Amino acid sequence: MLDLPSLFELLVLLPAILIGLTFHEFAHGWVADRLGDRTARYQGRLTLNPLAHIDPVGFIMLILFKFGWAKPVPVNPYNLRTDPARGMLMVSLAGPAANLLVALVTSLILASGLARLVPYGNLVFYLTLQINVILAVFNLIPVPPLDGSKIVAGLFPGRARFIYGMETYGTVILLLLLFTGVLGKILWPLVNFITGVFLALGKVMF
């Protein structure tokens, strides 16, 4: 039986989820824009407004299972002022990198004690740290349409056709991995380890 979050859990999760999804997608659009593709800018996606980036299904999945996604930022690789595969690799890396940067900043806020100035601040900022690590790790899975698939395609251009050809089945593969428990068994140890590293790093810096 699905364990639904309480109203309190939703209230403390929402800021973490919105921050994670928004910075992830904004980073994709910002890097693409800097590389010459204005598609995200023209479609109103080069913004930190969370409403521009929410995918309803991915948002609900993130609340229920802590594995989810946002509405992908549109990118035309042929507008990039670089090799399309190399450009998409950089654009794809930007999302997880932004999440890890947010996680680092959050760990510093927790270590500094500033989080205590906000009601339930330690919990909210801890969840923000954890959700951003989850988004970074989850999106690095090399299964389309996740960022990891485009990163692998950029690193191994000869495999790009095969990787992108999986996109039709990618979501089904991810859902099967999630509901069979395989995804959690692989990712949670990594998420917990990286979260612990950030918490320790924050304490060292303060």
ω into 119 cis (within 30 of 0): no
Please give the biggest Cα pair distance in the chain.
52
Record the pTM.
0.91
Report the pLDDT averaged over residues 135-153.
Answer: 92
Residue 1 has pLDDT above 60, yes or no: no
Contact indicator for 96, 140 with CB cutoff of 8 Å:
yes
State the distance between the two ends of the chain, measured CA to CA, in whole angstroms.
43
Is-catalytic flag, 25? yes
In one-letter notation, the amino acid at residue 197 is: V
- Residue with the two structure tokens 């594995």: 67
The answer as to whether 53 is a domain residue is yes
- Please state, as a whole number, how many other Cβ atoms lie within 10 Å of the Cβ of residue 171: 15
Report the distance separating Cα 194 and Cα 200, nearest Å: 10
Domain contains 117? yes
The C-alpha angle 174, 185, 134, rounded to 5 degrees, equals 65
Task: For residue 2, name the pLDDT band (cuts at 50, 70, 90).
Answer: low
Q: Which amino acid is at 171?
A: T
Give the chain's domain count.
1
When pLDDT is averaged across residues 72-84 and rounded to a whole number, the result is 92
Q: Which range of residues forms the domain containing residue 141?
A: 7-205
Q: For residue 2, tell me if it sits in a domain.
A: no
The active-site residue out of 25, 33, 37, 147 is 25
Report the pLDDT averaged over residues 105-130: 94
Of 65-69, 86-90, 120-124, which range is least confident?
Answer: 65-69
Identify whether 16 is part of a domain: yes
CA distances for 109 relative to 17, 106, 118, 131, 205, angstroms: 17, 5, 11, 15, 11
Question: Looking at the predicted structure, is the pLDDT value of residue 108 above 90?
Answer: yes
Q: What's the CA gap between 119 and 31, in Å, rounded? A: 35
Range of lowest pLDDT (64-68, 125-129, 194-198): 64-68
Predicted pLDDT of residue 198 = 97
The per-residue pLDDT of the chain, averaged, comes to 90
The pLDDT value given to residue 206: 73
Determine, yes or no, domain membership for 1. Answer: no
Q: Give the pLDDT score at 194.
A: 97
